Amino acid sequence: MGSSSKKKKEKKSDFQKPKLRVGKSKPAPSNYTDTSFRAKSITVTQQRALTTSARPSSSAAQLSHNLSLLSHRSDAARRDALAHILSAIALAPASAPAALIVPKVAPLLLDSSSSVRGATLAVLRALTTEDVALRAPKLLLYARAGATHLSGEIKDFALDVLSFLLQSAGEETVSCPGGWVKTVGCLVTVLRWSGKSGATNGMGQGVGVVGRDAKLLVKQLGALTSVLEVGLGVTSDKMDKDGIPKRRVFWPPTFPVYHAYQHAMPSWSRPYARLNLFGRPPDSDDARYEDTGERRRVFREKYERDVLAGVGECVRLGGEVGRTAKRLGKVVEEGMADRGK
Amino acid sequence: MGKRKVGALEKVDADLTNLQHKIRRDPSSYQDDFRNQYAQYDTFKSLFLENPASNPEVGVISFRDLVDFIAHVADCYPDLTARFPQDLVDILTLHHDKLEYELRDKLVGSLVLLRNKDVINSSILLNALFPILVSTNSKSLRALLFKKILSDLRSCNAKATDHRLNRTIQTVLYNLVTSDRASPKSVWAVKLTRELWKRQIWTDAKAVDIMKEASLTDNEKVVVGGVQFFLGGDQEREDAIEESDDDEDGIDVGRLKHQAGVNKKSKKQDRQLKKAAAMVRKKEKKKGKPHPLNFSALHLLHDPQSFAESLFHKHLQQQRKNKFALEHKLLVLNLVTRLTGLHRLTIEQLYSYLLKYLAPRQPSVTSFLAALAQATHPLVPPETLAPLVHKIATEFVSEASASEVAASGLNAIREVCSRQPLALEATLLQDLVQYRKSRDKSVVMAARALLSLYRDVGPEKLARKDRGRDAALAMRDGGGVERRFGEDDMAGVDGGIEGIELLAEWREAERKRRRREKGLPSDADSDEEGEKIGLSEEEEEEGWKNWDVESTDSDSSGGWIDVASDGGENFEISDSEDEKRAKKKARTTKEFEAEAKFGVTNGSALEAHDGGNSGPSDTQQTPVALSEREATLATNPAKRLSSLATTRILTPADLAKLHELRIQQSLQSHLPSSHKRHHAAPKRNGNNVGGLANRADDPVTAESIALPAHLGTKATKEEKIAAAKADRQEKHLGKEAKKRQRKREQGKSSTNKEKERQKNMIMMLGKARKKGKRPLGDVRKALKSGGKGGRKGR
């Protein structure tokens, strides 16, 4: 009778006295609960979700739903979400604020699928110029990251983004922190011109450049040209002759309101950004160079010789590359010559 | 159009590993590619710094990958990446609490990598990591940082001790402990120091100083860490050394060589063989080196008196501010008493403090009893100890109290009195000795142990009939007089060498043996030879050269090495350090060990052990040796012999021999057969009152106090089973599994059947699928055969 003897033993064990020993603490009773632990915090594994509606119904909800889909792993889903966002902007720009959209959309500029990248740029194009100008520093970061990307397609695409930025918010792009030195430096690196003036290694990068490489090279040269155009104040439709941007509302001052613009609401983005109230302490590369004179000085110090050496080499190649390089050389010449006036 | 030259990175998109590989082979050609990637890293860093909590993972490349990539090739472009290490340090220091954990670990790993590539030096790395270790809240990060810091310190000290680095780190730790005495952050200083002590990287007084300061802080955790270091740090270190020695023994080079000859040749096997050979070479080299001289932490303490005093006052006496848990209090008490006993300190209040804890109802009273025994040394005034001993006698030892209590009390009194025999007055002693007539076995044994102690150290206190023959004879001869308070041996702490006369005797005996071998009269006057007693000059030099060899060989060269164990006679195993190892190896029952430790000489369990220990050769040699030794004792007065230390320099081999002789003496002194010799030989040597059993250096534990209480009790069935099973492995293995394990241990491969069974499921999927689509005819055939020829267990 196995079970009965077992039961007997169990019953007996209830009445057995625990053995006590000198110097040992009492054995804990069977129902002892250890309460000696302490917790700094209690984690509740599941909490009630704050968003009540499961199905996006309102346009705002739909937008947030689509924004969340932007990090979907499938290309098609991301592209569709972008299409939705684009249509939302087109239908009711007020209901689709750029402040929400741009931070989410911007990382997709470096997406591995070309259709997604294209759709992203389309979304950015749909935004108003002010919105883009306000967020130009951040978008510029992505453009730069793309320009040095390992993938050739993304490299190519990033130049499109850069030219879009320069078209819609050129002044902001070159004057934001790091927007001048780093952008030019990045393009110079990409063109393999850095340190060119110091040591001519004889291996021109143009040797045997044909096909896709040549196209990319032309595009890169073009991008550098347009950056320098804007930065050095060559296209002076937005500038006056002193290099002061012409964006102020009451410019030029007329008789009754000479100083009105100083009292009016600033119309450009982040008017107090130069005070750098919230950012990190800038180093020399991250500094802002807000007017053309400063930018010219920095360009002369850092890149002019490299660029000129590179231009010379590319001009010798001739063809499409040579033509673009020649234009670049002209822009540099004009921009730097402006300084004497 | 000619064949287009494919660019370095066009083939594979975003393949940083590929680029890394290429850069490593030819840094100058890929400099532009690296520049691109560095620019990308820079951009990503700006993106990341806008929101440090995120890990900018855009498309295929993440910030983490870029950091990893640059860290791997940073040594190829030192000028381009000059700012990179500082960037990493800044990010870690500023944002370590917000970072996503994978990126955080990568940053730490990259910094360590840069250190390993010598891009940055150790002090930069440690200065970056240590503040984070101390301040972070993340457990995993702390574990990682601790590991990295430790391994860096180890690698810096691997070839030669980097004193400068050690000193700076020690100073940092010291400042951490002393700057804010209430903060729990000092725990990291304690942990680091303990770990480095254990690995013998730090063995100096400065490390001990850190721990000393840690023990005097206000934070309980830190205090406990510091105290535990002093109590167990050295033991831990020894264990670690032993373990590392064991590890290297595991290689069988012969077998590996054989296997390399038999089995298929592979690179792996080649590597294994080379590694094993290197290991063996290293071991050989290690053998030639002298043993590292490690001082215990307790001996490296500067000014132990003030340390013990402040420990006692701060953590035990003034317990108003921070009340410690009892076990922690006991730890501190253990350290204080250990220091008191070891360095013979005088802390007056300690004994009155202990007085109130000496009651049977007090939890873990055995620890308090052990502490009292530990705190006793020959320089404690007997009048301070008397009330304590008296209290133990009245509270613990009575017929009314439980047998365990009485036995523990008696044992505690014995431990105290073995260190200061004057603590017990004659009447009380005679009372206590009466307990050997008690009914309970444990009490009897405890009382007997007390009796035998006093037969040795103070027979005149015992009643005449209790003295025994030896003690009575000694008293008649004028010996056996109890030492007065403050009287000390020459071979005490003050300059004497314990057992030096044994060495002199041995040298004399050796000399005689040599002379006899040469055919000279053995007793050619030793007085004339004066200085050159013992070994010849060449021997002397040998002793200095490869002394370790001699010390190991001396077992065979010495005449009378092993303990005589005439059949049926018992001896007491001493509890000295040297014995412990031997004990560990010889499997004995719990009872035997207990009796041996306790020092009771009538245990019948010892007899079984006796037989195993004695070889036939020993018994042949011993009589000769003994007679020789007696002869030398007769001719050479002890006083002249002890001048050995002052007339010549002892070689390491001499010291090793001395050590051996001391052990032997302690063993022989308990042989009943050597009773007669016992009277002639100087009875008490050094501070080993009652043999080497109780040395002042050894700690007294609560277990040793409670030991006699368990002697009388029979083991329960469970305990017996547990003892029998003790050295077997716990995990149950089936028949097949056992077989497989045995095969693997023999270095044999698995069977085909087994291989088939362990085949990856994916590989078998096709076959299984096919099985379902077999034509009906085949199925029928298979069914008919009834699994004949199929595999077992299908």
> For the segment B282-326, what is each residue's pLDDT rounded down to a tens digit?
777 776 666 666 778 888 898 999 999 999 998 888 866 668 888
Residue B615: pLDDT over 70? no
d(CA A111, CA A118) in angstroms, rounded, equals: 10
Please tell me whether residues B305 and B435 are part of one structural domain: yes
Query: Residue A112 and residue B709: Cβ atoms within 8 Å?
Result: no
Residue A56: pLDDT over 60? no
**pLDDT given for residue A211 in this prediction:** 61
Query: Residue B13 and residue A112: Cβ atoms within 8 Å?
Result: yes
* Span A198-217, pLDDT tens digits: 544 444 454 445 566 788 88
Of residues B682 and B761, which shows the higher confidence score? B761
Please tell me whether residues B57 and B152 are part of one structural domain: yes
Angle between helices B84-95 and B101-116 (to 10 degrees): 140
Please tell me whether residues B80 and B180 are part of one structural domain: yes
**pLDDT given for residue A82 in this prediction:** 94
Query: Residue A182 and residue B19: Cβ atoms within 8 Å?
Result: no
Last residue of a domain, one of B458, B476, B494: B476
Residue B528: pLDDT over 80? no
**pLDDT given for residue B46 in this prediction:** 85
**pLDDT given for residue B604 in this prediction:** 38
d(CA B342, CA B305) in angstroms, rounded, equals: 11
Averaged over B565-576, what is the pLDDT?
A: 43
CATH number at residue B192: 1.25.10
The answer to whether position A165 is within a domain reads no
Max mean pLDDT among A130-144, A193-207, B500-514, B678-692 falls in: A130-144
**pLDDT given for residue A81 in this prediction:** 94
Window A:244-303, CB contacts with B under 8 Å: 280, 286
Please tell me whether residues B204 and B328 are part of one structural domain: no
Distance (Å) from the C-alpha of residue A156 to the closest C-alpha of chain B? 13
Q: A189: buried, middle or exposed (CB in 10 Å: 19+, 13-18, 0-12)? A: buried
**pLDDT given for residue B579 in this prediction:** 43
* Token duo for residue A257: 């309101």
Residue B9: pLDDT over 50? no
Please tell me whether residues B26 and B151 are part of one structural domain: yes
Nearest to A23 among B49, B60, B706 (CB): B706
Residue B593: pLDDT over 80? no
- B491 close to B686: Cβ distance less than 8 angstroms: yes
- A335 close to A233: Cβ distance less than 8 angstroms: yes
Chain A contact for B655 (CB, 8 A cutoff): no
d(CA B324, CA B437) in angstroms, rounded, equals: 43
Chain A contact for B319 (CB, 8 A cutoff): no
Total domain count, chain A: 1
The answer to whether position B8 is within a domain reads no
The answer to whether position A140 is within a domain reads no
The answer to whether position A257 is within a domain reads yes
Q: How many CB atoms lie within 10 A of CB B529?
A: 11
Residue B86: pLDDT over 50? yes
Chain A contact for B79 (CB, 8 A cutoff): no
**pLDDT given for residue B568 in this prediction:** 42
Averaged over B410-430, what is the pLDDT?
A: 92
**pLDDT given for residue A85 in this prediction:** 92
Query: Residue A151 and residue B705: Cβ atoms within 8 Å?
Result: no
SS3 for chain A is: CHHHHHHHHHHHHHHCCCCCCCCCCCCCCCCCCCCCCCCCCCCCCCCCCCCCCCCCCCHHHHHHHHHHHHHCCCHHHHHHHHHHHHHHHHHCHHHCCHHHHHHHHHHHHHCCCHHHHHHHHHHHHHCCHHHHHHCHHHHHHHHHHHHCCCCHHHHHHHHHHHHHHHHHHHHHHHHCCCCCHHHHHHHHHHCCCCCCCCCCCCCCCCCCCCHHHHHHHHHHHHHHHHHHHHHHCCCCCCECCCCCECCCCCCCCCCCCCCHHHHCCCCCCCCCHHHCCCCCCCCCCCCCCCCHHHHHHHHHHHCHHHHHHHHHHHHHHCHHHHHHHHHHHHHHHHHHHHHHC
**pLDDT given for residue B544 in this prediction:** 58
Q: Tokens 């023959």 correspond to what residue?
A: B469
**Largest interatomic CA distance in chain A:** 117
Paired strand residues for B62? B57
pLDDT band with cut points at 50, 70 and 90 for residue B125: very high
CA distances from B5 to A215, A217, A260, B21, B246 (A): 15, 15, 62, 20, 59
**pLDDT given for residue B515 in this prediction:** 85
- B196 close to B207: Cβ distance less than 8 angstroms: yes
pLDDT band with cut points at 50, 70 and 90 for residue B786: low
The answer to whether position B756 is within a domain reads no
Nearest to A192 among B32, B56, B363 (CB): B32
Pick the residue from chain B with its C-alpha nearest to A141.
B43
Averaged over B334-359, what is the pLDDT?
A: 92
Averaged over B137-153, what is the pLDDT?
A: 93
* Cα B555 versus chain centre, distance: 26
Q: B99: buried, middle or exposed (CB in 10 Å: 19+, 13-18, 0-12)? A: buried
**pLDDT given for residue B537 in this prediction:** 53
pLDDT band with cut points at 50, 70 and 90 for residue A284: low
Q: B423: buried, middle or exposed (CB in 10 Å: 19+, 13-18, 0-12)? A: buried
Q: Which residues of A touch B47 (CB under 8 A)?
A: 141-142, 145
Compute the residue count for chain A: 341
Chain B contact for A189 (CB, 8 A cutoff): yes
Q: How many CB atoms lie within 10 A of CB B579?
A: 18
The answer to whether position A112 is within a domain reads no
Query: Residue B43 and residue A148: Cβ atoms within 8 Å?
Result: yes
Average pLDDT, chain B: 77
Query: Residue B42 and residue A111: Cβ atoms within 8 Å?
Result: no
Last residue of a domain, one of B721, B747, B768: B721
pLDDT band with cut points at 50, 70 and 90 for residue A84: very high
Q: Tokens 């097949």 correspond to what residue?
A: B736
- A179 close to A288: Cβ distance less than 8 angstroms: yes
d(CA A332, CA A307) in angstroms, rounded, equals: 9
Return phi, psi of residue A140, to 5°. Answer: -65, -35
**Range scoring the smallest mean pLDDT among A262-276, B275-289, B383-397, B661-675:** B661-675
The answer to whether position A217 is within a domain reads yes
d(CA B412, CA B434) in angstroms, rounded, equals: 17
- B89 close to B126: Cβ distance less than 8 angstroms: no
Averaged over B149-161, what is the pLDDT?
A: 91
Q: Report the candidate in B76, B83, B73, B75 with the shortest Cα–Cα distance to residue B28.
A: B76
**pLDDT given for residue A335 in this prediction:** 84
The answer to whether position A260 is within a domain reads yes
Average pLDDT, chain A: 80
Please tell me whether residues B466 and B361 are part of one structural domain: yes
Averaged over B356-374, what is the pLDDT?
A: 92
**Range scoring the smallest mean pLDDT among A109-118, A194-203, A306-315, B531-540:** B531-540
d(CA B576, CA B694) in angstroms, rounded, equals: 7
Please tell me whether residues B230 and B100 are part of one structural domain: yes
Residue B632: pLDDT over 70? no
* Span B168-194, pLDDT tens digits: 999 999 999 999 888 889 999 999 999
pLDDT band with cut points at 50, 70 and 90 for residue B407: very high
Q: Report the candidate in B347, B421, B348 with the shortest Cα–Cα distance to residue B382.
A: B421
The ipTM, to two decimals, is 0.76
* Span B247-264, pLDDT tens digits: 655 667 777 777 777 777
Paired strand residues for A245? A239
**pLDDT given for residue B559 in this prediction:** 45
Max mean pLDDT among B40-49, B232-241, B441-450, B710-719 falls in: B441-450
Please tell me whether residues B180 and B303 are part of one structural domain: no
d(CA B12, CA A112) in angstroms, rounded, equals: 13
* Span A15-43, pLDDT tens digits: 887 777 787 788 787 788 888 888 888 88
The answer to whether position B784 is within a domain reads no
**pLDDT given for residue A288 in this prediction:** 78
Averaged over B105-121, what is the pLDDT?
A: 94
Q: Report the candidate in A216, A214, A142, A195 with the shortest Cα–Cα distance to residue A173.
A: A142
**pLDDT given for residue A336 in this prediction:** 84
Window B:705-764, CB contacts with A under 8 Å: 705-706, 709
Domain that holds residue A334: 190-275+283-340
Domain that holds residue B356: 299-476
**pLDDT given for residue B293 in this prediction:** 64
**Range scoring the smallest mean pLDDT among A94-108, B42-56, B222-236, B324-338:** B42-56
Averaged over B432-447, what is the pLDDT?
A: 91
SS3 for B347-367 is: CHHHHHHHHCCCCCCCCCHHH
Mutate to test the interface with B, among A22, A40, A205 (most CBs of B within 10 A): A22
Please tell me whether residues B373 and B238 are part of one structural domain: no
**pLDDT given for residue A97 in this prediction:** 85
What is the count of residue pairs from A and B with beta carbons less than 8 Å apart? 98
Query: Residue A145 and residue B44: Cβ atoms within 8 Å?
Result: yes
Chain B contact for A207 (CB, 8 A cutoff): no
**pLDDT given for residue B119 in this prediction:** 92
Alpha helical stretches, state H, B180-219: 186-198, 205-215
d(CA B115, CA B88) in angstroms, rounded, equals: 12
Query: Residue B58 and residue A145: Cβ atoms within 8 Å?
Result: yes
Window A:95-154, CB contacts with B under 8 Å: 107-112, 138, 141-142, 144-145, 148-154
**pLDDT given for residue A47 in this prediction:** 67
Chain A contact for B39 (CB, 8 A cutoff): yes
Residue A340: pLDDT over 90? no
Query: Residue A145 and residue B10: Cβ atoms within 8 Å?
Result: no
* Token duo for residue B104: 């955080």
The answer to whether position B272 is within a domain reads no
The answer to whether position A59 is within a domain reads no
Q: What percent of chain A clears pLDDT 70, i.e. is strictly above it?
A: 79
**pLDDT given for residue A3 in this prediction:** 66
Of residues B523 and A229, which shows the higher confidence score? A229
**Range scoring the smallest mean pLDDT among A126-130, B545-549, B667-671:** B545-549
Alpha helical stretches, state H, B669-758: 675-680, 702-706, 717-725, 735-745, 752-757
pLDDT band with cut points at 50, 70 and 90 for residue B584: very low
Distance (Å) from the C-alpha of residue A147 to the closest C-alpha of chain B? 8
Total domain count, chain B: 3
The answer to whether position A330 is within a domain reads yes
Residue B31: pLDDT over 50? yes
